[in-house]
Amino acid sequence: MTTKRATVESTADAYLELLAARGVEYFFANAGTDFAPIIEAFAKRQATGQPVPKPMTVPHEVPAVGMAHGFAMVTGRPQAVMVHVIVGAANAIGGIMNAARSNAPILFTAGRNPITEAGYSGSRDRPIHWAQESFDQGGLAREFVKWDYELRNMSQLETIVDRALAIAQAEPAGPVYLTLPREVLGERQETFEYAPASRAPRPSETVAGRAAVAKAAQILAGAAHPLIITKAVGRDPVAIPAMVALAEALGAPVVEQFHTHLNFPQDHPLHGGFDASPHFGRADAIVVVESDVPWFPSGAHPRPETKLVHIGHDPLFARYPVRGFEADVALAGQPRLTLHALADAVRGLVEPSVIAARRARAEGEHRQLRDEWAARARKAASAHPMEMAWVSKCVGDVIDDRTIVVNEYDLDPTQAKFTVPGSFFSSSPAGGLGWALGAALGAKLAAPDKTVIACVGDGSYMFGAPTAAHWVSRKHELPTLTVIFNNSAWNAVKRSVHSFAKDGWAARSTVMPLSDLDPSPDYEMVCRASGGWAEKVEKPDALPDALNRALKVVREERRQALLNVICKKPA
């Protein structure tokens, strides 16, 4: 077998050589004392013109992991993140939880505190090197990564890196965790031989079995009112035409319930909105596609006799400790392939007149929904402080086919209309706050020709380490627009309390404990501190022009921008 031979000075040098050879383009890092061999290797390779992933300094772990997540969600390609031993890993774990539940492939790495007290070039030489050692560093992340390992020596470097990248990308995709001891990274080397391309096993795409597909097709063909619910099938943009094919073969509406991606063109007449509950009374067969939570068992849910078909890479969501959603047929495999197979199996089983009647009804319901949503926006247009529906409508009006929106909770999906695959991404089901700022920067890095808008609440903005995120935008020339839906509260917390105790003490209190964010900081000042353009917007009629000014700055001046939009405080 042909091999490549590189002249290297250390294991860290060989590691960077291999990452570049394997197509890792970026190395997001918040450095610490464990980085010394890595930094030396970067300096040597840059000075000598050797290939290397681009080092990206990110001075907080939350946006660092968010950037890798954002890049992966746009491209599907894993990038490397490195943080400082146990303390950096601890800061990063919330982002890794998000990546795990969003199936974002990331090579998550951390330095390993020096193992030895003397005798090696990487041995302990700082006071922190005793306190920063843990008994099981991998245990910090093991619950939420697909694989973890500690690099033991140079001889296994290629095997370990190739295995890590292969596991991260194998479906269901997700983060992996590799710890890198300083002694191993700093060990002197002279040459490094490796294969030009990874030969780690890469599982081929799979499709659900024919018999199971045929059974699902018979269920759907025998239904009078089929319904499709999806949350994240759009993680694979090529799966969206397959969703359209199945919906059109059945004449069935598609509801994007709790959606994290664009899964179905929202201008399509079969798009059934974002709330499946009105359909449950009549639906007699439901296809659930890549959705961990298609409804709340304690709330509105399908009738007991409704037939259920689940489609996904892992319809069991086996990494979830408890998930009791039932299924009559579960179709595991590449959703794109399974959806096409199911659409093909359904064709010819349903009378064209039946499909036409279903489609006509769905089209009428689609128009009615759009009219209701537009009326809600018109009603909110003059409210002061601003309603979030109006803010969402104004953001929706500036979105075009060259725009990517990263939404952490507050953009009302009824007030926008996404049609381009890969144009909308929302918060991870894990709900680790602070994701959007870094994810937007990663998305911009992956798609520099696109306009990237991050929609965040004021609480989420603070969680995102905004000083670090705005610094990264300036440092690495990644202009994005951040729109803060500032209601001076953690509304998700308030909604949870109202749901738990609708008429309880907390609901009746003037200020609900532990959910109030008054007094609100002047967030626009944080962006300006890193050379960005920013302003506070308090009047609803001023918002459209403010958005246009901000987008001009982002697109023409190539500078970041931020709007601190003052919204109505939730009761």
Q: What percent of the chain has pLDDT over 90?
A: 91
| Counted domains in the chain | 3
With a cut of 70, say whether residue 205 has pLDDT above it: yes
Give the range of the structural domain holding residue 549, as residue numbers without chain letter: 381-566
Residue 375 lies in a domain: no
Residue 199 lies in a domain: no
429 and 354 housed in the same domain:
no
Average pLDDT over residues 426-451: 97
427 and 340 housed in the same domain:
no
249 and 349 housed in the same domain:
yes
Residue 234 lies in a domain: yes
505 and 418 housed in the same domain:
yes
Residue 487 lies in a domain: yes
303 and 422 housed in the same domain:
no
Model confidence at 488, pLDDT cuts 50, 70, 90, reads confident
State whether residue 261 is helix, strand or coil.
Answer: strand
- Domain boundary pick from 318, 338, 368: 368
176 and 40 housed in the same domain:
yes
Task: Report how far residue 305's alpha carbon sits from residue 530's, in angstroms, rounded to the nearest whole number.
Answer: 58
Report pLDDT for 320. 96
- Domain boundary pick from 138, 169, 194: 194
Which string of b and e fits 158-181 if b means at least 16 CB within 10 Å?
bebbbbbbbbbbbbbbbbbbbbbb
Residue 373 lies in a domain: no
Phi first, then psi, for residue 462 (nearest 5°) are: -65, -35
Residue 202 lies in a domain: no
Average pLDDT of the residues of the chain: 96
548 and 419 housed in the same domain:
yes
Model confidence at 381, pLDDT cuts 50, 70, 90, reads very high
Average pLDDT over residues 1-6: 88
Residue 502 lies in a domain: yes
Average pLDDT over residues 112-136: 91
State whether residue 23 is helix, strand or coil.
Answer: coil
315 and 240 housed in the same domain:
yes
345 and 429 housed in the same domain:
no
Report pLDDT for 495. 80
| Contacts for 272 with CB less than 8 Å, ≥ 6 apart | 227, 253, 254, 255, 279, 362, 365, 366, 369
Report pLDDT for 1. 65
Average pLDDT over residues 449-463: 97
Q: What is the pTM of this model?
A: 0.96
CATH number at residue 153: 3.40.50.970
> Which pLDDT tens digit goes with each residue over 358-375?
999 999 999 999 999 999
Q: What are the start-end ranges of the E strands in 99-190?
A: 106-112, 148-150, 175-181
- Domain boundary pick from 194, 221, 245: 194
190 and 250 housed in the same domain:
no
221 and 255 housed in the same domain:
yes
419 and 559 housed in the same domain:
yes
CATH number at residue 341: 3.40.50.1220
State whether residue 164 is helix, strand or coil.
Answer: helix
With a cut of 90, say whether residue 498 has pLDDT above it: no
Residue 98 lies in a domain: yes
Helix axes 61-75, 85-102, angle to 10 degrees: 30
